[in-house]
Amino acid sequence: MTTSTTHPSQWRTAKLGDLVDAQPGFAAGQRDSRGVVQLRMNNVTTDGRLDWSSFIRVPEPPDGAYDLAPGDVVFNNTNSAELVGKAALFEGWDERVVYSNHFTRLRAKPGVDARFLVRWLNLKWREGLFAGICNRWIGQAAVSRQKLLGLDVPLPPLEEQRRIAALLDEQMATIERARTAAQQQLEAARALPAAFLRAIFESDDIRSSRKIPLHDLVRIRGTLVDPQVPPYRNMLHVGGEHIASGRATATGMRSASEDHLISGKYLFQPGDVLYCKIRPYLRKAAVATFTGVCSADIYALVPHSAVLDSAFLCWSLLTESFTRWATEESKRARMPKLNRDQLLSWKIALPDLRVQREFVELLQRELASVDAAQSALLRQSDTLAAFQAAALRTVFGGC
């Protein structure tokens, strides 16, 4: 196996079209629950695997021209510019499988190892080759048959192809096991915020506290302003899309002028709790840290600061118990949402202000540690992805 940018003398270069029989797939506009499984774009991952977690069935085509056989390579010829060119090896399944017109089936000719070929295609995708040679339209890109089959493929003797493919399979399997473990850890870390929130708000200190309707503790700010005039046009605009689900944060805002706002918006101040009243099951609330304007889909809640901490209120609105209540209440409307009277009728568990702030501080410390762990796991996943690319480059060099 070579690790340089040149190949041993026994390697040769061949056009892909001379190494495979290529067959495009077919479009199926209908679904058939009793039909045949059809491979789609989402079934091929960016690391060259087939993902069977979700698939569709379509009416069976009239002949076997679009059947996949073990050893076939599926090349994703149409996708977004970033994803076009994904490829995977089909190793068989427990029933018949066909493929859509977004794929080209590459069936290796004698003397060509399909595992070797798909690994080379994976490397070319990672290097951005297909993004560079594809034809682009709005929201879509495609690699033409002519460009695909005209690619120069570095090809060692068959036994060397098999040896290289086996080595890469082993390396990729090791990396994939590590990636899967990291992903499982990441998913566990993402579940921790809800667990921390549940542990705090279901504690005896909270559950035994007096329950008080929000209308005794909170008012809804109702200052409607024109976002086209100063100073409001220069203020940041918060919409429901900016508030993260279940995390009490808002990001990605732009000024009212940058968002080209025309209709009136509601003013909010630092310390207000911004609660998204649309689809309460999405659990969107955040404490404002600046003066800005928000959409009519958001309530700017002003808590009575002498008895209710803003952050404690915000987190209370993200609890499972509130979300269950709000979801049930919002079913009365055609579009799930809480009106003012409904929201202000909810009874919040209200411990002493000191206890509220202690709980918030504890929760924020725990969440900071979770965020740090998630960042580390994401970096680990990026590193593993880089290892995959490095393993491919080591084998194929600069080809």
* pLDDT for res 7: 52
Domains of the chain, by residue range, sit at 12-157, 210-350
User: In 226-264, at which residue ranges do the beta strands (DSSP E only) sit?
Assistant: 236-238, 254-255
Residues of the chain scoring pLDDT < 70:
1-9, 333, 384-399
Which residues are 89's β-sheet partners?
Answer: 73
pLDDT of 365 reads 86
Domain 210-350 in the same topology as domain 12-157 = yes
Q: What is the CATH number of domain 12-157?
A: 3.90.220.20
Q: Burial code of 62-83, b = ≥16 C-beta within 10 A, e = fewer?
A: eeeebebeeebbbbbbbbebeb
102: nearest Cα among 47, 162, 40, 16: 40
- Of 388, 90, 343, 348, whose CA–CA distance to 211 is shortest? 348
Integer Cα distance of 186 and 331 in angstroms: 33
Question: How far is 366 from 70, CA to CA, in rounded Å?
Answer: 49
Q: Which two tokens stand for residue 66?
A: 């679009």
Quote the pLDDT of residue 6: 41
CATH number of 210-350: 3.90.220.20
Strand partners, 294: 238, 266
What pLDDT is stored for residue 332 in this prediction? Answer: 72
pLDDT of residue 2: 41
Helix ranges (H only) for the chain are 16-19, 114-126, 129-133, 145-149, 158-201, 204-207, 310-316, 320-330, 340-345, 353-396
Closest by CA position to 69, among listed 105, 110, 120, 122: 105
